[in-house]
A and B are shown apart, each in its own frame.
Chain A
Amino acid sequence: MSVTHFDMSATLFDKIWDAHVAARRIDGRDLVYIDRHVLHELHAPHAFGKLQKAGRAVRRPDLTFSAIDHTPSTKPGRDEHTNPEGLPLIEAMRAGSLRNAIRVFDLKDPEHGISHVVAPEIGMVLPGATHAVPDSHACTVGGLGALAFGCGTSELEHILATQVIAMHRPKRMRIRLDGSLGPHVRAKDVALAVIAHIGSAGGRGFAIEFSGAVARALPVEGRLTLCNLTIEMGSRTGLIAADDTVFQWLHGRPWAPAGARWARALAYWKTLPSGEGAVFDSDINLDCGALQPQITWGTDPGQAIAISGRVPDPADAEAHRRPLLEKALVYMGLTPGMAIEGLRVDRVFIGSCTNARLSDLEEAAAILRGRRIAPGMQALVSPGSAKVRRDAEALGLDKVFSDAGFIWGESACSMCAGANGDKGERGERILSTTNRNFENRQGPGARTHLVGPALAAAAAVTGEITDVRKLLGGAR
């Protein structure tokens, strides 16, 4: 075992990167070893085909796993035929995985789910480990102190053949989150506030480390939510140093090391946090003490405001940004200066790799218990994994959601990616716990507002955008 020591000048990111560089390639790129590689059915079939054509083998099928999460229907009792459009991709995924001896987390598997939810919950991804998925939200597992990269299909094929990714080392950014969060303010609100602060391209070229009292106080599931949205900050990867909160959460998970190996791994993980003297290329501080629940008003995740806020006026923006803001206002059916609270809502979606873990469902259920969704409201909840669904059912949450009028769906990317038949209708206003409010993302002409589970549940009940604090405080 190598000597463990606390390097006071290296960052968490650099320590993990350096520990995974297998070689420096002739073109100056580092070959960063990928400890766990997870594929999904939208992109892997293409890469399997190219690999086969080139006569190349999968180097480490034992470190590679196939998720089926982008295309399955969320309809209760669904199978691969429920969304016929997804079937050819699912079949190609199964065939390619079988040919290459890769385990598939198939629809009936008790460990099925959205890969970014499943990988942490079974202990597949560990602190200090590297992870890659051909999906930009791979960064989610940074919440465990892992270094993860979303990648394209060519990179996916490259990792299959070599188990390394060829990259230039990104710069380092530290985002220190100070203060403590008020009632009903959670990780999603922090993340939206950060994106609004640095912009949706603000993190480009950087690996982001989140630190400070708020990051430290976040439970693991909140950390996963915060890191999930790193790509919406423009950064390919973001992470939070693993601490006792993570270690306790991880201990005993099915694939996590146990016994003497756990002790040995733990000793190693404790050497990884950034040292006191660690130097970052960019340092950003954000005081979250006065942060309110956040909601996006526009078509870019950075267009977020407080729930008590008003829709901005493009006239106040820099001239070159005005056309985009005006376009967003038109698409969203809003006028400058109007209050965001009180807008009529047609549909609510609680799900996705961002906000579909057990604590997210509990947060929403606490608001829905004993209440009904508004007349005409379409409300769907899609738990992040089969395990989340089982655990929620054990707590009776399925009944809370069903009694309130929600559809208690199966697990998949669902309405977030719009690839499985779940979508909103043109002109509909949707409150969604997902990660992208792009035009047409949740259906042609559908108007998406990104929120956390509490605001989503509150709007489902009242039929309009509602400050959950007022709803629960009885001030309405």
Chain B
Amino acid sequence: MERFTVVTGVAAPLIEDDVNTDQIAPLSAGHRVHPDYAAMFFARRRAGAGIDADPDFFLSKPRFSKPSILAAGANFGCGSSRESAVWCIQAAGIRCVVARGFADIFRENCLQNGLLPVVLAAGEAEAFEALVIAADGGAPFTVDLAARKITAPGGREFVFDISPADAKRLLEGLDDIGLTLTHNSDIAAFEQKMAAERPWSQRADISAVKD
């Protein structure tokens, strides 16, 4: 997983509530074993998508063709658990999503892939969104995870909160499975205990086992 330290770049506005993962990563657009995630990203909405194309959508404008930060509304990433939504966002070059709120599974998928999910305090979020809209794909924003801070063009700073564990995981690009595997013996001990206490939990076809 790529480490997240400091990211500087264009911030794109998608200030809408309830943007779901069907929109971000339409299934029909990438229905294969190795999809083109960049092409899948909002495939139905971006310019060139045909009748559903939205000319006001940020991806339809050339100045937002390489965004680093996405400013989004409430409940971002709701719906399907598909992790391809995160991979699409990353394929577009975005490293950080600043939203009013994230759906639970989507936020976890972000952390798994080094995509930084940021929620600003209520009053701050409005000011941040206004600056993203005002910048309009021009002057860059900088996200500094270690300092827990976003700096807008003109120097205004937005401080955000993230748990030390989540921040560490992103800063160091930790291997999540590797971290859990250090508890291998705990897991093995748990399995042994369960085989004795709740044997049906350790055998899927328990009905086939003679008493």
Give A residues with C-beta under 8 Å from B.
1-2, 22-23, 25-29, 31, 33, 35-36, 42-43, 45-46, 54, 56, 59, 62-63, 65, 71, 85-86, 88-89, 92, 123-124, 126, 129, 134-136, 150-155, 157-158, 161-164, 166, 170, 200-201, 204-205, 231, 234-236, 254-261, 265, 268, 300, 320-321, 323-324, 417-419, 426, 436, 438-441, 444-445
Contact = CB atoms under 8 A, between A and B. Distances in A.
8 contacts: A201-B75, A201-B78, A205-B104, A255-B207, A418-B27, A418-B28, A445-B51, A445-B52
Given A89-B33, A126-B200, A154-B113, A201 B103 contact: yes
Contact of B190 (A22, A88, A439): A22
Q: Which of B81, B176, B183 has the most CB of A within 10 A?
A: B81
B20 interface: yes
Contacts of B153: none
A22 B199 contact: no
B200 A265 contact: yes
A418 B26 CA distance: 10
Contact of A157 (B33, B108, B177, B186): B177
B81 A134 contact: yes
A204 B112 contact: no
B65 interface: no
B148 to A, nearest CB: 17
Contacts of A88: 32-33
A89 B30 CA distance: 12
Contacts of B44: 440, 444
B211 A28 contact: no
A136 B27 contact: no
A116 B189 CA distance: 30
A1 B31 contact: no
Contacts of B200: 126, 257, 261, 265
Nearest to B85: A152
Interface in B1-19: 16-18
Given A27-B168, A56-B177, A136-B105, A62 B187 contact: no
A444 B187 contact: no
Interface string B196-211: 1111111111110101
Given A162-B177, A201-B74, A440-B52, A419 B198 contact: no
Nearest to B168: A27
Given A33-B187, A419-B27, 4 more contacts: A150-B105, A162-B187, A236-B104, A261-B211
A261 B199 contact: yes
B103 to A, nearest CB: 7
Given A162-B181, A419-B28, A152 B211 contact: no
B181 A152 contact: no
A395 B183 CA distance: 51
Contact of B112 (A92, A154, A417): A154
A26 B20 contact: no
Contacts of A320: 17
B105 A236 contact: yes
Interface in B98-155: 101, 103-105, 108-109, 112-113
Contacts of A205: 104
A205 B197 CA distance: 31
Contacts, number: 195
B67 to A, nearest CB: 22
A153 B80 CA distance: 12
A351 B104 CA distance: 26
Nearest to A324: B17
B157 interface: no
A25 B176 CA distance: 11
Contacts of B22: 436, 438-441
A36 B204 contact: yes
A1 B180 contact: no
B18 A324 contact: yes
B173 interface: no
Contacts of A166: 176, 179-180
Contact of A151 (B79, B105, B186, B190): B105
B82 interface: yes
Nearest to B166: A27
A275 B4 CA distance: 44
Contacts of A45: 33
B104 to A, nearest CB: 5
A123 to B, nearest CB: 7
A441 B198 CA distance: 42
Contacts of A92: 33
A22 B186 contact: yes
Nearest to A443: B28
Contacts of B86: 152
B22 to A, nearest CB: 5
Contacts of A419: 27-28, 31
B60 interface: no
A427 to B, nearest CB: 11
A1 B205 CA distance: 21
Contacts of B169: 27
Contacts of B113: 154
A152 B159 CA distance: 29
A305 B207 CA distance: 45
A132 B176 CA distance: 18
Among A26, A201, A261, the one with the most B-chain Cβ atoms within 10 Å of its Cβ is A201
A75 B16 CA distance: 38
Contacts of A257: 200, 206-207
Contacts of A255: 204-207
A124 B17 contact: no
B194 interface: yes
Contacts of A71: 31
